[in-house]
Amino acid sequence: MRAPGIDRRHFLRGVATAAVAGQPARAAAATSPEWEQTVAAAKKEGKVAVNTFTGQSYGRVLKLFAQAYPEIKVDHTNLEPVDFSPRIINERKAGVYTWDVATMPTSTALQVLRPAGVFDPVRPAIVAPDAKNDAHWRGGFEAGFLDRDRRLAYAFTLVRSVGIFVNADRVKDGEIKSIKDLLDPKWKGKIAISDPRAIGSTFWPLTIARLKVGDEIMKQLLVDQEPVLSRDRNQLTEFMVRGRYPLAIGLNALALRDFQAKGVGKNIRTLSLPEMDYQSSRVLISWLLMKDGQAAWAKELQTNSRFVGIEPGEPLTVVPAGLKLQQIDSEDLLPEVVKTQDLSKQLIR
Domain boundaries, the chain: 8-157+282-318, 162-277+334-347
Shortest CA distance to 41 belongs to which of 66, 65, 75, 17?
A: 17
- 181 pLDDT exceeds 90? yes
Mean pLDDT, rounded, for 99-113: 81
Q: Does CATH place domain 8-157+282-318 in 3.40.190.10?
A: yes
CA–CA gap between residue 80 and residue 221 (Å, rounded): 25
User: Of 21-35, 225-239, 316-330, where does mean pLDDT reach its minimum?
Assistant: 21-35
Name 64's Cβ contacts closer than 8 Å, sequence gap at least 6: 22, 23, 296
Q: Which residue has the higher pLDDT, 129 or 194?
A: 194
Beta-strand ranges (E) seen in the chain are 47-51, 73-77, 101-104, 154-155, 159-160, 164-167, 191-194, 228-230, 247-249, 268-271, 279-280, 283-284
Residue positions counted in the chain? 349
Kindly report the CATH number that applies to the domain delimited by 162-277+334-347: 3.40.190.10
| Sheet of 154-155, strands arranged across | 73-77, 47-51, 101-104, 283-284, 154-155
Mean pLDDT, rounded, for 229-248: 91
Mean pLDDT, rounded, for 319-341: 80
Name 341's Cβ contacts closer than 8 Å, sequence gap at least 6: 196, 197, 198, 203
CA–CA gap between residue 321 and residue 181 (Å, rounded): 29
- 21 pLDDT exceeds 60? no
CB burial string 216-239: b at 16+ within 10 A, e below: ebbebbbeebebebbebbbebbbb
Number of neighbouring beta carbons within 10 Å of residue 67: 11
* Proportion of the chain above pLDDT 90, given as a percent: 23
- 132 pLDDT exceeds 70? yes
- 308 pLDDT exceeds 80? yes
At residue 46, the pLDDT reads: 85
Mean pLDDT, rounded, for 77-99: 88
Number of neighbouring beta carbons within 10 Å of residue 207: 28
At residue 278, the pLDDT reads: 57
At residue 161, the pLDDT reads: 67
- 131 pLDDT exceeds 80? yes
CA–CA gap between residue 162 and residue 270 (Å, rounded): 6
Question: pLDDT grade, residue 292 (50/70/90)?
Answer: confident
AA letter at 33: P
Mean pLDDT, rounded, for 49-65: 86
CA–CA gap between residue 145 and residue 155 (Å, rounded): 6
At residue 125, the pLDDT reads: 79
Mean pLDDT, rounded, for 260-268: 90
Cβ pair 132, 126 in contact under 8 A: yes
CA–CA gap between residue 271 and residue 325 (Å, rounded): 17
Cβ pair 270, 159 in contact under 8 A: no
91-100, 177-186, 303-312: which is most confident: 177-186
Q: Which residue has the higher pLDDT, 68 or 83?
A: 83
Question: pLDDT grade, residue 29 (50/70/90)?
Answer: low
CB burial string 137-170: b at 16+ within 10 A, e below: bbeebebbbbbeebebbbbbbbbbbbbbbbbeee
What backbone phi and psi angles, to 5 degrees, belong to 137? -120, 135
- 148 pLDDT exceeds 90? no
CA–CA gap between residue 81 and residue 7 (Å, rounded): 27
- 259 pLDDT exceeds 70? yes
At residue 225, the pLDDT reads: 96
- 222 pLDDT exceeds 90? yes
What does pTM read for this prediction?
Answer: 0.61
Cβ pair 171, 246 in contact under 8 A: yes
- 274 pLDDT exceeds 70? yes
- 5 pLDDT exceeds 50? no
Cβ pair 134, 282 in contact under 8 A: no
Mean pLDDT, rounded, for 317-323: 75
Q: Which residue has the higher pLDDT, 160 or 78?
A: 78
Same fold, 8-157+282-318 and 162-277+334-347: yes
- 6 pLDDT exceeds 50? no
Mean pLDDT of the chain: 80
* Proportion of the chain above pLDDT 70, given as a percent: 87
At residue 309, the pLDDT reads: 86
